[in-house]
Structure 1
Amino acid sequence: MTSGKPPTLDARIERWPIEGGFTISRGAKTEAVVVVAEVRRGEAAGRGECVPYPRYGETPEATLAAILAMQDAIGRGLDRVALQAAMPPSAARNALDCALLDLEAKQSDQRIWDLLGRDAPRATVTAYTISLGPPETMAAATAKAARRRLLKIKLGGDGDGLRIAAVRKAAPDSELIVDANEAWTEANLEQNLAACAEAGVTLVEQPLPAGNDGRLAHIKRPIAVCADESVHDRASLPGLRERYDAVNIKLDKTGGLTEALAMADAAAAQGFDIMVGCMVATSLSMAPAMLLAQQARFVDLDGPLLLKRDRERGLRYDGSLVYPPDASLWG
């Protein structure tokens, strides 16, 4: 039942320690800094979580301010459809979009996939990330995770051939995908792709910097290449097909689940394989992405596994599988 009172909006910054640290080509961090939006109407409250990304000029403080600036609009009844035009695609819009979706589900006493006319999510295999480091360090970390069915390997440029060979030796039976985080160059691109192909890697994410990835259209790609930093929402899909075989859809880039679902449909129609990715964050960030996972070839929703602890009633992880969220968490 819907309360006659207008909805209210609150938001906060939270910090979640990472287990052992997390390193990619752009640097290392020891905690996940997230921003949580909460929209409340009567006794029902919807939550959404986002991760501001410095790569796109976002900070936790600016993201928090952007969310709170929508208080009056939310009080006047702004819904998630109108939200798409009221805010640009961003981490801030993601948190608010997901909070409104969660509230809608709780007020109707239905699961969000039923409300959206989507298939109910099922348990799916998620990647587990191995941080960038020296080959021997990465091999040791990989050996501990070698029973997982899908591993995502962070690479960083020079020496990546040695890194991926060491990883493959440590996990001979796992499917491997690689994320270069824009760290390769035109000079080492083909050499690194060949090394990955030799190691049986299935997919390489964003090998060249966004905006400087034209070379991908002029080489024979021995394995599939996935756009991450080069793709954000539906508007960024045109023109990518010659350079990329797949796109990584992340809710913080699309500005929420509403746009992400539309983007997944558009990407599939244009012939892209779909990858669903995440930042290091809690299960509240991963839960909405489980709806996307159902149409994805690659799922990378391991963020909570990299934390020292997850929030209460988090997603269930069992080996390589991640299970859909309980309504108490989201949706």
Structure 2
Amino acid sequence: MNQRVSIEAESFEIAGGFKISRETRTHAKVVVVTISDGPVSGRGECVPYPRYGESLETVQTQIEEVTPLLKTGLSREALLEAMPAGAARNAVDCALWDLEAKRAGKTASDLAGLGTLHPVTTAFTISVDTPDAMARKTAVAAHRPLLKVKLAGPGDDERIRAVRSAAPSAKLIVDANEAWDESCFDTNMAACAEVGVELIEQPLPAKSDDLLSAFQSPITICADESLSPGKGLDGLRDKYGAVNIKLDKAGGLTEALRLLDAARKADFKVMIGCMLGTSLAMAPAVLIGQTADYVDLDGPLLLSQDRSPGLRFDDSTLYPPEPALWG
């Protein structure tokens, strides 16, 4: 076997920019892996995340290190041992899924034993800003059924009230990206309960989330950064009622499916989330989205221009990928 492997870094402009508590971005920077066997090719995309020490350069280097194994037919199962969890392994794993599906003339969903995929409703993200600016952004998206609101710490009580006033009918979930602390936790939590927020994602820093063990939350709290690459669910159940599974953190669809099964057995609610990437990054996650309680795969909707072909969106309804894209 002599498979061919290519690695490319790409950049996609974000419409209007994207801001969370710890960073602002103008472009989604991704790495795409293509593995070819004769006339058949499989692709996978990942988004390096600085929060976990990743960059375009480190991810490309990791993939280059396993390229000799990929050329000789490294399997998805063997990949789990050959690479650590993280963005680099995700791109390779998803490329192998795509290659395997196209080689077999089946869908990745069939290979995973999931059968026919169905459309899902994705959240739409409102970046953090001043309350007035967030209200204006929300008003444009108020028709969407599920909004994900990025928060930043002190002042989030005013931000979430402003968002609710601009979207009185939408379901709201919020993501603090570790920005809360003891000075604002109670105030922000009370405001979220007041406006009917359904889920609060990672309110406290992962290193400080033991404080949640003694807290009886009126709202489901979801682990994101506390479920870091290569880390399982151990120690999370007494602090969180939900987990955010991201393929870039799990290190691919193979591990994400295992994590989904473990989360269900441990009675967690599940969100399938994403880093900010294109349709190629979202497509494998649609498989997890079939049974997730919350789907947050709006990355392509936030770009000035997605790759083509891309996923089909009808407002917030996300349709399964066509084989020309992935799987």
In the alignment, does 2:37 pair up with 1:68? no
Q: Quick check: 13-22 or 212-221, which moved more?
A: 212-221
1:174 aligns with 2:165: no
Please point out which of 188, 192, 199 is paired with 2:188. 192
Secondary structure of 1:10's match? strand
User: Partners of 1:21 and 1:316 in 2: how far apart?
Assistant: 22
CA contact (8 A) 1:25 1:183 kept: yes
> What is the aligned partner in structure 1 of residue 266 from structure 2?
270
- In the alignment, which of 295, 313, 316 is matched to residue 299 of structure 1? 295
Contact 1:120 1:291 in 2 (8 A): no
Match of 1:259 in 2: 255
Shift in Å, 1:108:
0.6
Per the alignment, residue 74 of structure 2 pairs with: 78
* 1:156 has 2:171 as partner: no
Q: Within the alignment, does 1:30 sit opposite 2:48 as a pair? A: no
Deviations 1:264-302 (A, max 9, x none): 000010010000001111000000000000111000000
Moved over 6 A (4+): none
Structure 1 residue 318: Cα displacement: 0.1
Aligned residue for 2:323? 327
Alignment correspondent of 1:286 = 282
What is the aligned-residue RMSD (CA, Å)? 0.9
CA shift in 2, pair 1:73/1:234, >3 Å: closer
What displacement does 1:235 show? Answer: 4.1
d(CA) in 2 for partners of 1:121, 1:313? 18
Question: Is there any run of 5+ residues in structure 1 with no aligned partner, and where?
Answer: none
For residues 226 and 211 of structure 1, what CA distance do their matches in structure 2 show?
Answer: 15
Distance 1:38 1:132 in 2: 35
Deviation at 1:71, TM superposition (A): 1.4
Aligned residues: 327
Q: 1:203 aligns with which of 199, 203, 227?
A: 199
Aligned to 2:118: 122
What SS does structure 2 have at the residue aligned with 1:151?
strand
Q: Secondary structure at the match of 2:178?
A: coil
Q: Does 1:244 align with 2:257?
A: no
Q: Check whether the contact 2:127–2:150 (CA below 8 A) recurs between aligned residues.
A: yes
With over 3 angstroms needed to count, the CA separation of the structure-2 counterparts of 1:119 and 1:191, relative to structure 1, is farther
User: Over residues 83-133 of structure 1, what are the superposed CA-to-partner deviations in whole Å (9 max), with x where a residue is unaligned?
Assistant: 000000010000000000000000011001111211322101100000000
SS at match of 1:211: helix
CA distance in 2, matches of 1:139, 1:314: 30
Aligned counterparts of 2:166 and 2:129: Cα–Cα separation in 1: 15
Residues 195 and 321 of structure 1, relative CA distance in 2, 3 Å threshold:
same
Please give the per-residue CA displacement for 1:233-271, whole angstroms capped at 9, x wherever unaligned: 674201100100000000000000000000000001001
Cα pair 1:234 1:262 within 8 Å, conserved: no
In the TM superposition, what are the counterparts of 1:8-157 in structure 2 within 5 Å? 8-157=4-153
Q: Describe the shift of the 1:28–1:234 C-alpha distance in structure 2 as closer, same or farther (beyond 3 A).
A: closer
Given the two structures, how large is their TM-score scaled by the length of structure 2? 0.98
Distance 1:70 1:236 in 2: 24
For 2:268 and 2:278, the matched residues in 1 are separated by 28
The AA in structure 2 aligned to 1:185 is D
The 8 Å contact of residues 134 and 163 in structure 1, kept in 2 or not, is answered as yes
| Partner amino acid, structure 1, of 2:141 | A
Quote the residue 1:220 is aligned against: 216
Inter-partner Cα distance in structure 1 for 2:172 and 2:77: 38
Give yes or no for contact 2:145–2:316 (8 Å, CA) kept in 1. Answer: yes
Distance verdict in 2 for CA 1:234–1:70, change over 3 Å: closer
- 2:68 and 2:250 mapped to 1: Cα distance? 24
SS class of match (1:276): strand
Report the CA distance between 1:190 and its aligned residue. Answer: 2.0
Bigger shift: residues 321-330 or 60-69: 60-69
* Percent identical residues: 54
> Is the contact made by 2:84 and 2:230 (CA closer than 8 Å) also made in structure 1?
no
